[in-house]
A and B are shown apart, each in its own frame.
Chain A
Amino acid sequence: MGWERLLGVVVALLLAPLLLGVITRVKARFAGRRGAPLVQPYFELRKLMAKRAVYSRTTSWHFQVGPWISLSAIILALLLVPMLGQIAPTAFPGDPFLLVYLLGVGRLFTVLAALDTGSAFEGMGASRELHFAVFTEISFFFALAALARSTSAWSLSGVSTRHALLQEGDGVLTLVLVGVTLFVVLLAENARIPVDDPNTHLELTMVHEVMVLDHSGPELGAIHYGMALKLWLFASLLVSLVVPIASGSVWLDGALWLLAVFGVGAAVGVVESVMARLRLLQVARLIMGAGLLSVTALLLS
């Protein structure tokens, strides 16, 4: 394994919170405010890491290790994602499955930690999170299947390198449809606005935020950092798999790629500013509908 392939992962670990900052800034601009500094998420992480965690007496060790296992699973998943226009550190046929189930392991431990608190609120959040996950996983697999079928590559990196095949004729259609699916999956997996509201844990939006309500200190920091990495992961997937970047120069490719990832962040910010959260029942329809676009792409390819 070439060490230069790890560069993408290092960049992800360093810049992921900045992507959150970009989203917050776009939302602030839309609302006519100046907004927090772009590096605000880093300040918050530093503050949380310096704090001491508080544990409820009803919790067990699940509650303490959950956030760290989730964070580790997401970092492992990052190793499978092609970034900066290069292939991923690890790639093998079928790696999308490993990616999805690594994220599944992360989700499982967040949910276990939430259930461990014994709070009805967190149980409800956990239930909803898993309910959405059922649909996002199917949609994600269909998107990958459509790409795999039209490029005949079975790994994420393989698809990203055979991208050129898709840039003529019907391939463009596949890219557009799969892009829409992946974007909706990104919104759903990262608890962003039409699916969940990242800013609140009020009753109406008890999904992701309410699950982590009892965590504090470094563990809450780990959860926030994990969410930032997950957002970066999905934005990278969207850019690497769907956006055609091939300028010829490695450095220019990398720069364009980064720009595109932050573009995805800006798009998320715009969506969050112009849309309201959907009713819970409609969320499943939205995600399934997006998945069906990929099924259409699969059928037509």
Chain B
Amino acid sequence: MTLVWALLLLLNLFLYASSRLMMYIRVVALQGLLLGILGIYQHAGELAWSVLAVALLSTVIKAFLLPWFLASTVQKTGIRREIVPLVGFGLSTVIGVAFLALALVIAGHLDAVAGEEAVQLLVVAFHTLLTGLFLCVARAQISSQAIGYLVMENGVFVAGMAFAGRSSVVAELGVLLDISVAVFIMVAVIHHVRREFAGLDAANLTELRD
């Protein structure tokens, strides 16, 4: 499990350093897949059927469906790279490592609440959350910001895993529905912005237009 845990952290760090939207999407898809594995592993003892079904469904949606949808959007808009992000890629990576330190500190303080074994998960959870937040704030393209939102959601998912151990099937289905709808709306917005402004720079949105 340390392997999955380390891989998730390294994928996060990769998100800070890369400029290609397709790479972002691949990383998010891989994260979804790893989270699915992690989820099933957590319940390995008493694998109830409904839990397995939800885990599989969420993996399919997060690792294949939403990434595929975002990827086709990126292909259609034709904007495939972050060219001038608000924070440069070198500095971003340094910030990413600083966030890792921060996540370690936060998770270290929470070991009494969550229990010793959950601390590793919490490190991943906070780092993924911060990574998603950072992508939303520091990348100029709306499509990267949408991907940042998905990354944040992955972080919340891990945090839930750390705290609850097993969450109710209904809650998980609800979250899944939420992110799917959110991604559909964001893709619609991306297409609209693209049509109106001939670009996806979020700075455009300060202009008022019909």
CB-contacts of A256-301 with B (<8 A)? 284-285, 288-289, 292-293, 295-296, 299-300
Residues of chain A within 8 A of B182, CB atoms compared: none
- Chain A residues, Cβ within 8 Å of B94: 288, 292
A296 touches B97 (CB 8 A): yes
Chain B residues contacting A288 (CB-CB under 8 Å) are 90, 93-94
Question: Would A285 and B89 count as touching, CB distance under 8 A?
Answer: yes
Task: List the B side residues contacting A289 at CB < 8 Å.
Answer: 17, 93
- Is residue B110 contacting chain A, with contact meaning CB distance below 8 A? no
Question: Does B104 reach chain A (CB closer than 8 Å)?
Answer: yes
Interface residues on chain B, number (Cβ under 8 Å):
16
- Considering the complex, which residues of chain B in the window 92-129 have a beta carbon less than 8 Å from any beta carbon of chain A? 93-94, 96-97, 100-101, 104
Whether B97 pairs with A295 at a CB distance below 8 angstroms is yes
B93 contacts A173, C-beta separation under 8 Å: no
Interface residue A44 (Cβ < 8 Å from any Cβ of B)? no
Of the residues A169, A172, A284, A292, contact of B13 by C-beta under 8 Å: A292
Contact of A284 among B2, B90, B97, B101 (CB under 8 A): B90
Contact A173 B90 (CB under 8 A): no
| B173 at the A interface (CB under 8 A) | no
Q: Using Cβ atoms and an 8 Å threshold, which residues of chain A touch B90?
A: 284-285, 288
Cβ of A172 to closest chain B Cβ, rounded Å: 8
* Residues B93 and A169 in contact, CB atoms below 8 Å apart: no
If A170-B2, A173-B2, A173-B6 touch, does A292 touch B97 (CB 8 Å cutoff)? yes
Measured between alpha carbons, how far is A300 from B13 in the docked complex, in Å?
A: 14
Q: How large is the interface on A (under 10, 10 to 19, 20 to 34, 35 or more residues)?
A: 10 to 19
| B159 at interface, CB cutoff 8 A | no
Q: B93, A292: Cβ atoms under 8 Å?
A: yes
B62-110 contacts to A (CB < 8 Å): 89-90, 93-94, 96-97, 100-101, 104
Q: How far is the CB of A284 from chain B (nearest CB, A)?
A: 7
Distance, CA A288 to CA B104, complexed state (A): 22
B9 at the A/B interface (Cβ < 8 Å)? yes
State which residues 6-63 of B face A: CB under 8 Å: 6, 9-10, 13, 17
B13, A296: Cβ atoms closer than 8 Å:
yes
User: In the complex, what's the smallest C-beta–C-beta distance from B122 to chain A, in angstroms?
Assistant: 14
Contact call B89/A299, Cβ cutoff below 8 A? no
- Expressed in whole angstroms, the Cα–Cα distance for A295 and B9 within the complex equals 13
Please indicate the chain A residues that have their CB under 8 angstroms from the CB of B6 in the complex. 173, 300
Which of A170, A172, A299 is close to B101, meaning CB atoms less than 8 Å apart?
Answer: A299
Q: Report the separation of the CA atoms of residues A172 and B2 in the bound assembly, to the nearest whole angstrom.
A: 10
Checking A172, A173, A299 against B97 with a beta-carbon cut-off of 8 angstroms, the contacting residue is A299
Q: Closest chain B residue to A297 by CB distance?
A: B6
The answer for the CA separation of A260 and B100 in the assembled complex, in Å, is 33
Could you say which residues of chain B place their CB within 8 Å of the CB of A293?
Answer: 10, 13
Q: For residue B89, which residues in chain A have a CB less than 8 angstroms away from its CB?
A: 285
A299 adjacent to B2 (CB under 8 Å): no
Q: When chains A and B are docked, how far (Å) is the Cα of A223 from the Cα of B125? A: 51
Q: Taking CB as reference atom, which chain B residue is nearest A292?
A: B97
Q: Give Cα A284 to B91, complex, Å.
A: 12
Q: Which residues of A contact B104 (CB under 8 A)?
A: 299-300
Q: A153-195: contact bitstring with B at CB < 8 Å (1 yes, 0 no)?
A: 0000000000000000110110000000000000000000000
Contact: A169 with B2, CB < 8 Å? yes
**Chain B residue at smallest Cβ distance from A295:** B97
- In the assembly, what is the distance between CA of A77 and CA of B94, in Å? 31
CA distance in complex: A214, B200 (Å):
52
B172 CB to nearest chain A CB (Å): 29
Binary B-proximity of A236-249 (CB < 8 A = 1, otherwise 0):
00000000000000
User: Across the interface, which residues of A come within 8 angstroms of B10, CB to CB?
Assistant: 293, 296
Distance of A241 from chain B, by nearest CB (Å) = 19
* With A284-B90, A285-B90, A288-B90: A296-B9 Cβ-Cβ less than 8 Å: yes
Name the A residues within 8 Å of B3 (CB-CB): 173
User: Sorted from nearest, which 4 A-B pairs have the closest CB atoms?
Assistant: A173-B6, A292-B97, A295-B97, A285-B90
**6 extra interface residue pairs, beta carbon distance < 8 Å, beyond A173-B2, A293-B10:** A169-B2, A173-B3, A289-B17, A292-B13, A292-B93, A299-B97
Binding site for A on B (CB under 8 A): 2-3, 6, 9-10, 13, 17, 89-90, 93-94, 96-97, 100-101, 104
Q: List 26 A-B residue pairs with CB atoms under 8 Å apart, sorted by A's residue number.
A: A172-B2, A173-B3, A173-B6, A284-B90, A285-B17, A285-B89, A285-B90, A288-B90, A288-B94, A289-B17, A289-B93, A292-B13, A292-B93, A292-B94, A292-B97, A293-B10, A293-B13, A295-B97, A296-B9, A296-B10, A296-B13, A296-B100, A299-B97, A299-B100, A299-B104, A300-B104
